Structure 1
Amino acid sequence: MSEIRDFSPSSRKLGTFSYLKEMEPERIRKQVEYIVRRGWNPAVEHSEPENAFDHYWYMWKLPLFGETDVDKILAEAAACRAAHPHNHVRLVGYDTRRQSQGAALVVYRGLAAA
């Protein structure tokens, strides 16, 4: 049987998109447009990098129920980042029909603590 290894937190990935190169703003925008097109409720969450692998992230305000303005959704993510520059910020699209997350992606990575 092979040995089980635990990698350092800096080497761990944060979901599917984290295996790709960092997304440019226009690609993030396309993901938000997809969430809106699907009719999912967007929400913004944040977490300290060292706790990002736990199940619970802090919710930034309430989910944006019924919000379809992509610019407003991106502005909330940017406001969360400005308020918590050392935290990772992710955008979640809640699928109300299936009662689960339809999408979740880290839109900003936290700054390294000084």
Structure 2
Amino acid sequence: MAEIQDYKSTPKYETFSYLPAMTPDKMRRQIAYVISQGWNPGIEHVEPARADAYYWYMWKLPMFGEQSVDVVIAELEACHRAHPNNHVRLIGYDNYSQSQGSSFVVFRGR
């Protein structure tokens, strides 16, 4: 049986935080999945000290009906350039259930 690891040294923010860092290809596939589900991509950011807060700052409006992975990646990178020390996450808003279908941190702040 594997030994249980202690994660106290590195804060975790959502399910994907416990996995190895996403490669650009894996990130692209996650974004493609969000789009294929018909969810609207939205981008949020926050300072690392406030990462456990309920509300993060919204970057522009959600990208309603966006079908291009490249457009979503370009917006994620623009948010990261504008706020290089903040965590940046992508949210997939589900119109049907009126909730988040997916959420994961794309860039970690310092």
Letter in 2 for 1:78: E
Once the two structures are TM-superposed, the CA of residue 11 in structure 1 deviates from its matched residue by 2.7
Once the two structures are TM-superposed, the CA of residue 50 in structure 1 deviates from its matched residue by 0.6
The ranges of structure 1 where at least 4 consecutive aligned residues each deviate by more than 2 angstroms after the TM superposition are none
1:39 match: secondary structure: coil
Per the alignment, residue 21 of structure 2 pairs with: 22
Once the two structures are TM-superposed, the CA of residue 107 in structure 1 deviates from its matched residue by 0.4
Per the alignment, residue 84 of structure 1 pairs with: 83
Per the alignment, residue 109 of structure 1 pairs with: 108
Number of matched pairs: 104
C-alpha separation in 1, matches of 2:14 and 2:36: 21
2:22 match: secondary structure: coil
- What TM-score do you get using the length of structure 1 for normalisation? 0.88
Where in structure 2 are there 5+ consecutive unaligned residues? 1-6
Per the alignment, residue 97 of structure 2 pairs with: 98
Report Cα offsets for 1:31-88 as digits up to 9, x if no partner: 0000000000000100000101000000000000000110000100000000000000
C-alpha separation in 2, matches of 1:83 and 1:25: 20
Sequence identity of aligned pairs in percent? 55
Per the alignment, residue 45 of structure 1 pairs with: 44
Report Cα offsets for 1:6-51 as digits up to 9, x if no partner: x86x632110000001101110000000000000000010000010
1:60 aligns with 2:59: yes
2:54 match: secondary structure: coil
Per the alignment, residue 68 of structure 2 pairs with: 69
C-alpha separation in 1, matches of 2:21 and 2:35: 22
2:62 match: secondary structure: coil
RMSD: 1.2
2:44 match: secondary structure: strand
Where in structure 1 are there 5+ consecutive unaligned residues? 1-6
